[in-house]
Amino acid sequence: MSSANTPARKRFHSLRPATERASALKERIYATFTGLAIVVVIGSDIVDTPALTAFLTLAIGLVGIGAAGFVAEVIAHQVTHAAAPTGAELRTMGRISSGALASAAIPLLALGAACFGWMTLESAILTSTVLYVATLALVAIVAVARTSLPRAQKFWALLVMLGFIALVVIVLFLSKLH
């Protein structure tokens, strides 16, 4: 079957090894949790936070998590293989770690809109928070749906994952009450 007749989803999945796809997904999940934590903290002091500060805080935080992911990949490779990564491996690590920024595209656009006065900072924070929580829930749903577990086990697995996501969100919002 030629690639022209293969559905786009199958072509995408066949382009990258499973370990690379898993690493990219983990990086995006880390970045999503980080972004969620950042916007919740910004939202806790929204009265005294300029929109530009909120935008830069999120951007810098996510560049930081991406850089941390890249450095962790390089160090793990060196420890595991007792050698520096090749150029191709470094490019792969860079592609995976830069995926963290992709998770922030819409929240950064919302905060950017707040910088220009096109929406309030409160609306941008709410939009970002809802988007991050929805992203985490969607990832959990897709992850469980892709397993070969029986239906009852899928239900419990999804319930546990959504419970952990809810727990993180609750802890983040409780931290606002300081």
Q: What is the pLDDT of residues 87-118, one digit of tens each?
A: 988 998 888 888 777 878 899 999 999 999 99
Question: Do the Cβ atoms of 124 and 111 come closer than 8 Å?
Answer: yes
Identify whether 1 is part of a domain. no
Residue given tokens 């382009």 in the structure block: 15
Separation CA 76–CA 87 (nearest Å): 16
Number of domains in the chain: 1
% of the chain with per-residue pLDDT over 70: 90
Q: With the C-alpha atoms ordered 63, 67, 69, 70, is the resulting torsion angle positive or negative?
A: positive
Identify whether 126 is part of a domain. yes
Say what the pTM is: 0.79
Identify whether 130 is part of a domain. yes
Identify whether 9 is part of a domain. no
Identify whether 7 is part of a domain. no
Identify whether 3 is part of a domain. no
Residue 3 has a pLDDT of 47
Identify whether 112 is part of a domain. yes
Identify whether 48 is part of a domain. yes
Six-digit token string for 12: 């995408």
Domain range spanning residue 129? 17-175
The answer to whether residue 177 scores a pLDDT higher than 70 is: no
Residue 2 banded pLDDT, cuts 50, 70, 90: very low
**Residues with Cβ < 8 Å from 57, sequence gap 6 or more?**
38, 42
- The rounded mean pLDDT for the chain is 84
Cα-to-chain-centroid distance, residue 150 = 28
Query: Quick one: DSSP state of residue 146?
Result: T
